[in-house]
Amino acid sequence: MDYAFRLDFKVRDYECDMQGLVNNGVYQNYLEHARHEFLLASGINFAQLAKANINLIVVKAELHYRFPLKSGDNFRVDLNVRRSSKIRFEFIQDVYRYPDDKLIMNATITGTAINEKGRPMLPDEIAGLFPE
């Protein structure tokens, strides 16, 4: 599979829980950071949008945990995008440990953009990123 974007990470010890494994909730942090870096590389600044009261929000997250990450692991988040409706878009995000390419997680994150009044509002610059 070809991916549009890749971001590399290393597990930090404070992300591991008493099982010695990365805690479940932490993976969403990794995925979010990868999405924001992808958006930034595409000219879209999440922080500036938030200041302008345009909030990119997640409406659905589907996470398949395939194999746990642990202290010291290096991994990458691979990312693709697609439009799922007029106002919704999807990030396909797969996590691989490296250098052995062990599959860690498959995730699909569905998002939309809302304005100050909570109404869906997809700015053109964002819509353009997600081909219908």
| Active site members | 17
> Which 60-119 positions form the footprint of a copy of itself (CB under 8 A)?
60-65, 68, 70-72
If DSSP codes are grouped into helix, strand and coil, which group holds residue 18?
coil
Which CB atom, from 12 or from 82, has the smaller least distance to a copy of itself? Answer: 12
Are 31 and 39 in contact by the 8 Å Cβ rule? The answer is no
**Of residues 27-56, which lie at the interface with a copy of itself (CB under 8 A)?**
27-29, 32-33, 36, 40, 45-47, 50-51, 55
Quote the CA–CA distance of 41 and 61 in Å, as a whole number: 23
> Element (H or E) spanning 38, and its range?
helix 26-41
Residue number, 99 or 118, with CB nearest to a copy of itself: 118
